[in-house]
Amino acid sequence: MGASQQEQGPLRVALLGCGVVGSEVARLLTQQSADLASRVGAPLELVGIAVRDASAPRPLAESVDRSLLTEDAEGLVTRADIVIEVMGGIEPARSLLLRAIEAGAAVVTANKALLAEDGPTLYKAADTAGVDIYFEAAVAGAIPIVRPVRESLAGDHVRRILGIVNGTTNYVLDQMASTGMSFDDAVKQAQDLGYAEADPTADVEGFDAAAKAAILASLAFHTRVSLEDVAREGITAITADDVAWAAQTGHVIKLLAIAEAVTGDDGAHGVSVRVHPALVPLTHPLAGVRGAFNAVFVEADAAGELMFYGRGAGGSPTASAVLGDVVSAARHRVLGGKGPEESIYAALPILPASTAVTRYQVRLAVDDRPGVLAQVAQVLASKGVSIEAVRQPSEPSDGTQGDGPTGVAHLVITTHAAAEAALAATVDAIAVLEPVREITSVLRVEGA
C-alpha cells in the first residue's frame, strides 16, 4: 500500500442501475477492490445501488452486500464522490446525473441515448462544476474508442471513422452471409441468443448505431453532433439475395456508422454523419468482423489507419469500460487533475449525407436485347458517374435465368466514387428508362 493510499480515505461510489451491466460493475468493484485501491491510491467503497424495486429478485455476486440496494436514487447521488449510471433511458438518468454533478460528484455513464440526445447539457454542467464526466462504455462496449478519439488522437486530425458499432445487426448480417438465411430468420436467431431485444427496432433500424455515431463524430470533429444530425437507414430491407450478391462481387454487407470530413458544393468544410448498410470489400479489415463483435476503423492524418476491435455489448465487457472510467475519475480525486472538457471549438456544419462521396452498386432487371446496356451506360456518363464494373450474371442467385424465355437480363453495376447526390440522381434516371423493369437494389460501397 502506497503512502498516499494510507492517507486517503475511501472514495464513495454510487451505482445507478443493477441490470446486466450494473450487477457486473458491482461484482468487479467488490471482487477486485484490493487491485482497484492500489491502482487508484485509495479504496473504492460502493455505498449504494439504486434500483426501481429493491425487493425484486436479481442475480448479484456474493461479494455484493444486498443491503446496498436502495430505491432512493436522489439521496444516493448526493452522498457519493463518483456516480456510475448504467440504468439507461433519458429520465430519470439525466436528472440524477445532473444532481450528482451539482453535488460535486464525478460521473461515469454508459448511456449512449442520453449523450446523443442531450450530452451538451451534461458536459456543460460537469465543466461548470469542475468534475469529470466519462462515457467509454457508451460506444462499442468494451472497446476503448472514446478515450483514443477524445485523448490519444487529440493531437491529430481525424478524417474519417467507419464503425461496426451494433453487435445485433452485425450478427444478423453475418448469419445471413454465412448460412444464406433470411433477415427475419436471422433476427429470430439473434433474439433466441439474447443479442436482439424482443422489439429489435432500435438495433435493426440503426437508432442505436446512430447514437454512437453522434458521440464519436462530436469527439472526432470537435463539433456538437446530436442524434437528429445523423442520417439513418437500417438493415430491414437487406435480402438474402443482396447478401449473396455481395459475396459474388467480393464484398460483405455491414451496417456502418460513418463520420467523415466532407466538403460542400460551396467549398465549405463540414462533417457528414450517417448510418446505413454498405458493401465492404472483403480486403478491408472491417469485413472480417464476424458475429456480434464490434470494430471501429479510424483514419487520421498523422496516425494513418487504426482499428479497434472487441465486444460491443454484454455485462462484463461493458463493465470493463465502466471500471476503467471509474479508475480515471478516482485517480483525479486522489492525485488532483481532471479529465477533458467538451471540445467543440471547430463547430463545423453538419452537411447532408448527399454531400458525401461514396460508390454505389446497383442491381437491375432489364429487357434482354441489344443496346440496353449502352442506354444505361449513357445515363451514367451524362451524370458524370464513372463505371468501375458491370456484371451480367447468367444465373442470378434468386434462381431466375439471366437470359432466355423471360427476356430479362440482370445487371450489376458498380460505380467509381462520386457525390451521393449525383449517384442518387443517376439511379432515378436509370429507373425510368423504357427497358428497365426494376431497380432490384442500391447499396453504397464503403471502405474501398
* Catalytically active residues, by annotation: 212
Task: Please choose, from the candidates 87, 128, 149, 160, the residue with its C-alpha nearest in 3D space to the C-alpha of residue 318.
Answer: 87
Cβ closer to ligand HSE: 168 or 415? 168
18 is known to lie in a ligand binding site: yes
Q: Answer yes or no whether residue 22 interacts with ligand HSE by CB under 6 A.
A: no
d(CA 108, CA 332): 13
Q: Is 21 annotated as belonging to a binding site?
A: yes
277 binds ligand HSE (CB under 6 A): no
Residue 247's contacts (CB-CB under 8 Å, 6 or more residues apart) are 177
Q: Which of residues 17, 48, 167, 310 is near ligand HSE by CB under 6 A?
A: 167
How many binding residues for ligand HSE (CB under 6 A)?
A: 7
Determine which residue in the list 126, 133, 161, 313 makes contact with ligand HSE, applying CB under 6 A: 313
Q: How far is CA 339 from CA 206, 342, 357, 442, in A?
A: 30, 10, 35, 44
Determine the Cα–Cα distance for residues 372 and 277; give it in Å rounded to an integer: 29
Nearer to ligand HSE, 168 or 249 (CB): 168
Torsion, Cα of 11, 14, 20, 26 (10° steps): 40
CA distance 180 to 178: 6
Cell 458498380: give the residue.
Answer: 414
Any idea what the Cα angle at residue 318 is, between residues 314 and 322, rounded to 5°? 160
Q: Which residue has the cell 430519470?
A: 92
What minimum distance in Å lies between the beta carbon of 308 and ligand HSE? 15
Tell me if 23 is assigned to a ligand binding site.
yes
Residue 417 to residue 359: CA distance in whole angstroms: 5
Closest CA to 258 of 278, 241, 244, 288: 278
**CB under 6 A: which stretch of 162-170, 322-330, 388-396, 419-427 binds ligand HSE?**
162-170
- Consult the annotation and say whether 16 binds a ligand: yes
- Smallest distance, Å, CB 315 to ligand HSE? 11
210 belongs to the binding site for ligand HSE (CB under 6 A): no
How many Å apart are CA 282 and CA 249, to the nearest integer?
9
* Cβ-based nearer residue to ligand HSE, 208 or 342: 208
Sole binder of ligand HSE in the list 166, 218, 414, 426 (CB under 6 A): 166
Interface residue with ligand HSE, options 41, 312, 315, 339 (CB under 6 A) = 312
Residue 203 as a binder of ligand HSE (CB under 6 A): the answer is: yes
Told to check if 111 binds ligand HSE by CB under 6 A, we report no
- Per the annotation, does 25 bind a ligand? no
Q: Does 208 bind ligand HSE (CB under 6 A)?
A: yes
For residue 294, the minimal CB distance to ligand HSE (Å) is 7
Q: Is 270 annotated as a binding residue?
A: no
Contact 295, 311 (CB under 8 A): no
19 annotated as a binding-site residue:
yes
3-class SS at 275?
A: strand
Task: Answer yes or no whether residue 218 interacts with ligand HSE by CB under 6 A.
Answer: no
- What is the Cα–Cα distance from 120 to 98, expressed in whole angstroms? 12
Q: Which residues are annotated as a binding site for L-homoserine?
A: 197
Q: Which residues are annotated as a binding site for NADPH?
A: 112
Interacting residues toward ligand HSE by CB under 6 A? 166-168, 203, 208, 312-313
